[in-house]
């Protein structure tokens, strides 16, 4: 049975037409699912019962099942189990400008970034569109809140699950549904160049963040194996062409690792690489996880790095260390949970 949260608006219209119904019923169904957030398909208002019964026969409304919820000061972390028992994570961040949700896009991840706990779990499978949408719906319903921003920065590489992620963006951006438009969704990639090029031309694309983490190939290849396939120069060319096509700034994520990527010469190289104001650099204090062998850069080193970028007129911010009290580094909650289960 198909899950209704994986259906785009256009697919819902086609389904109705196949039943011999009018597609003008689609807005009521989408609004019931995403605005009223009904618990049963039989509760959708303004649709006759026989059609609702048909919907109920044809579709499930299964959401991810909560396994563990951990509260921090301004973050809540959720560990979910999917229908096949796979574990994924999502992190809710309460910010001044609204609630942001960071969601997972895959079960595990094949990108093997050296500083990331999730990179230790090989990819098992891609998340389906309904499993992406389900993370949002579950949290909105359970916590009675509205999520205003989505970030695909949890477990997995979203562009390694390109088609499902784009279908998900189409679902959540529809005005009769969650209406999370392009300015409210950020897809974060470790640097898959062909998909970056595709993304800029896709009608449902949102904002783009690139996990850069080093401006030189030697350091970046050590931290992120993907750099051996798509080196820095090629990645930055793709990013520039994406800016030209989509006309939106790109966020360059830069996790600060003591004595690895936080040297002033690397800040200068990064500034030279950027060379224009269409990028925004976000410096992130490393969230230290167990046994990965990296240390968070000292505050002095982060400030020195920041100053070099500022002197070169680069737009740069320092991210507050979100969620260290709730194991918010991606993959960390899952790792801790699985360890407990084995004891």
Instruction: Please give the positions annotated as active site.
Output: 89, 330
Q: Do 219 and 181 meet the contact criterion of CB atoms below 8 Å apart?
A: no
Supply the Cα-derived Rg of the chain in whole angstroms. 21
Q: Do 225 and 219 meet the contact criterion of CB atoms below 8 Å apart?
A: no
Continuous H helices in the chain: 9-18, 26-34, 49-58, 129-143, 162-173, 193-201, 217-223, 226-229, 232-246, 264-274, 299-311, 332-342
Distance CA 8, CA 184 (A): 18
Judged by beta carbon, residue 30 or residue 159, the one nearer ligand SF4 is 159
What minimum distance in Å lies between the beta carbon of 255 and ligand SF4?
9
Instruction: Tally Cβ neighbours within 10 Å of residue 144.
Output: 8
What's the distance, Cα to Cα, between the start and end of the chain in Å?
A: 37
What minimum distance in Å lies between the beta carbon of 114 and ligand SF4?
9
What minimum distance in Å lies between the beta carbon of 157 and ligand SF4?
4
What minimum distance in Å lies between the beta carbon of 220 and ligand SF4?
12
Judged by beta carbon, residue 245 or residue 319, the one nearer ligand SF4 is 319
Burial class (CB in 10 A: 0-12, 13-18, 19+), 161: buried
Judged by beta carbon, residue 29 or residue 113, the one nearer ligand SF4 is 113
Judged by beta carbon, residue 178 or residue 210, the one nearer ligand SF4 is 210
The footprint of ligand SF4 (CB under 6 A) covers 109, 111-113, 116, 118-119, 155-157, 190, 330
Instruction: Tally Cβ neighbours within 10 Å of residue 243.
Output: 17
| Tokens 């790109």 belong to residue | 250
Judged by beta carbon, residue 41 or residue 151, the one nearer ligand SF4 is 151
What minimum distance in Å lies between the beta carbon of 330 and ligand SF4?
5
CA-nearest of 164, 115, 73, 70 to 330 is 115
From residue 194, give the alpha-carbon distance in Å to each of 29, 52, 119, 169, 201. 36, 42, 21, 19, 12
Judged by beta carbon, residue 47 or residue 292, the one nearer ligand SF4 is 292
What minimum distance in Å lies between the beta carbon of 296 and ligand SF4?
16
Take residue 211 and report the two structure tokens written for it: 């996990």
């Amino acid at each position: 049975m198909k899950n209704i949260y994986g259906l785009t608006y256009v697919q819902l219209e086609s389904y109705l037409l196949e039943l011999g119904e009018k597609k003008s019923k689609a807005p009521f169904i989408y609004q019931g699912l995403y605005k009223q957030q009904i618990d049963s398909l039989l509760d959708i208002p303004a649709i006759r019962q026989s059609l609702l019964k048909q919907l109920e026969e044809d579709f499930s409304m299964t959401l991810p099942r909560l396994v563990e919820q951990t509260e921090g000061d301004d973050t809540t972390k959720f560990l979910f189990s999917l229908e096949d028992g796979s574990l994924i994570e999502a992190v809710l961040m309460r910010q001044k400008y609204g609630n942001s949700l960071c969601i997972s896009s895959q079960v595990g991840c094949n990108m093997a970034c050296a500083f990331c706990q999730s990179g230790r779990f090989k990819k098992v499978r891609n998340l389906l569109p309904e499993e992406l949408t389900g993370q949002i719906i579950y949290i909105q319903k359970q916590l009675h809140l509205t999520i205003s921003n989505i970030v695909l920065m949890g477990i997995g590489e979203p562009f390694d699950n390109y088609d499902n992620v784009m279908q998900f963006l189409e679902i959540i951006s529809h005005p009769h549904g969650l209406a999370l438009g392009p300015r409210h969704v950020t897809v974060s990639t470790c640097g898959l160049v062909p998909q970056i090029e595709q993304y800029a031309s896709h009608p449902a694309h949102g904002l783009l963040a690139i996990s850069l983490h080093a401006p030189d190939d030697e350091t970046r290849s050590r931290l992120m194996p993907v750099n051996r396939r798509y080196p820095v120069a090629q990645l930055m060319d793709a990013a520039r062409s994406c800016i030209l096509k989509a006309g939106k700034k790109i966020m360059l994520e830069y996790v600060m690792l003591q004595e690895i990527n936080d040297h002033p010469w690397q800040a200068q190289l990064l500034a030279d690489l950027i060379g224009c104001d269409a990028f925004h650099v976000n410096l992130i204090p490393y969230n230290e996880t167990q046994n990965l062998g990296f240390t968070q850069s000292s505050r002095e080193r982060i400030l020195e790095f920041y100053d070099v970028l500022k002197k070169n007129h680069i737009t740069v911010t320092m991210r507050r260390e979100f969620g260290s009290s709730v194991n918010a580094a991606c993959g960390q909650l899952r790792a801790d949970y699985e360890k407990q289960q084995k004891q």
